[in-house]
Amino acid sequence: MGHGWEGVVLKLMRGKDFTFTVTGAEQITEHFRRVHFSDGGMLARTGVHPTMWVRVWFDNGDKPHQRAYTLVDPDPEAGTFGMDFALHDGRACDWARAAAPGDTVDATLQGTGFAAPAPLPARLFVIGDPASLPAVNSLLEAFPGVPATIWFETGHDTGEELPLRLEAAHHELHLVPRRGRHLVSEVKSALPGLLGDPSEAYVWIACDTATTRALAGWARKELGLPKERVNALGYWRAAA
């Protein structure tokens, strides 16, 4: 399958192409599915870092269709990982629902990169949703022992069943039902009173594009967080 103009651009940007093979799948909740893969040699070649993600190509007739997914439990020695799909209507989720051992899918590694600040911050603040759940878990593991407050937007009643990897001694979770700008309001109401010294905090935001932009700009301009202490990436775009 050709990857169209997007594939050409990624090649020019030194994207690395791989083919993944499905080894199994599990239904985490009614709306959340995990597919397991062998990596086609990717991890041995590229290494692993927190919140690592790839662009996966899905067959969509004569049009290339790619979506980005964070790796779950990447194991360079075994050459394996998983990918989580927050299920909705769409070509990628249709593929995930039907994925079976032996199926293959093309992927491009380009654009990913993250390093925890050194020294580690005194306090971590995380804002995410089901689409960024694997990245949230990976991030928390990259900040061992750091107190973290997590605002996690849920779109379904099964949100509480999602596998967030929390440490009771260090992590405080706030589940926020998805409705309008409720998540933005909740964070803006609570975060200023928890922040303390902005230079000792770290804010990580990965939600829909509009929410991510609103909170990232607010954290920098209104709360005075240094640019290097805010990491923000829009994971999906809400329908108009």
Q: What is the pLDDT of residues 93-136, one digit of tens each?
A: 999 999 999 999 999 987 667 878 888 899 999 999 988 999 99
207 and 142 within one domain: yes
77 and 14 within one domain: yes
The span from the CA of 57 to the CA of 54, in Å, is 10
Examine residue 114 and state whether it is found in any structural domain, yes or no: no
Host domain of residue 28? 4-109
The span from the CA of 216 to the CA of 161, in Å, is 28
How many domains would you assign to the chain? 2
**Element spanning 23, H or E:** strand 16-29
Q: Assign residue 70 the CATH number of its domain.
A: 2.40.30.10
194 and 227 within one domain: yes
Q: What is the pLDDT of residues 28-39, one digit of tens each?
A: 988 899 999 999
Examine residue 156 and state whether it is found in any structural domain, yes or no: yes
Q: Assign residue 197 the CATH number of its domain.
A: 3.40.50.80
| 129, 153 Cβ separation under 8 angstroms | yes
Examine residue 238 and state whether it is found in any structural domain, yes or no: no
Q: Are strands 148-154 and 171-177 parallel, antiparallel or unpaired?
A: parallel
Most confident of 52-66, 155-169, 209-223: 209-223
* Domain stop point among 61, 86, 109: 109
Examine residue 117 and state whether it is found in any structural domain, yes or no: no
| 191, 222 Cβ separation under 8 angstroms | no
145 and 52 within one domain: no
Q: Output DSSP code: residue 161.
A: G
* Domain stop point among 79, 109, 139: 109
The span from the CA of 16 to the CA of 235, in Å, is 21
* Domain stop point among 49, 78, 109: 109
Averaged pLDDT for residues 198-203: 92
Check whether 60 has a pLDDT greater than 80. no
Residue 228, exposed/middle/buried by CB under 10 A (0-12, 13-18, 19+)?
exposed
Q: What is the pLDDT of residues 159-188, one digit of tens each?
A: 567 889 998 899 999 999 988 789 999 999
| End-to-end alpha carbon distance in the chain | 30
CA Rg value for the chain: 18
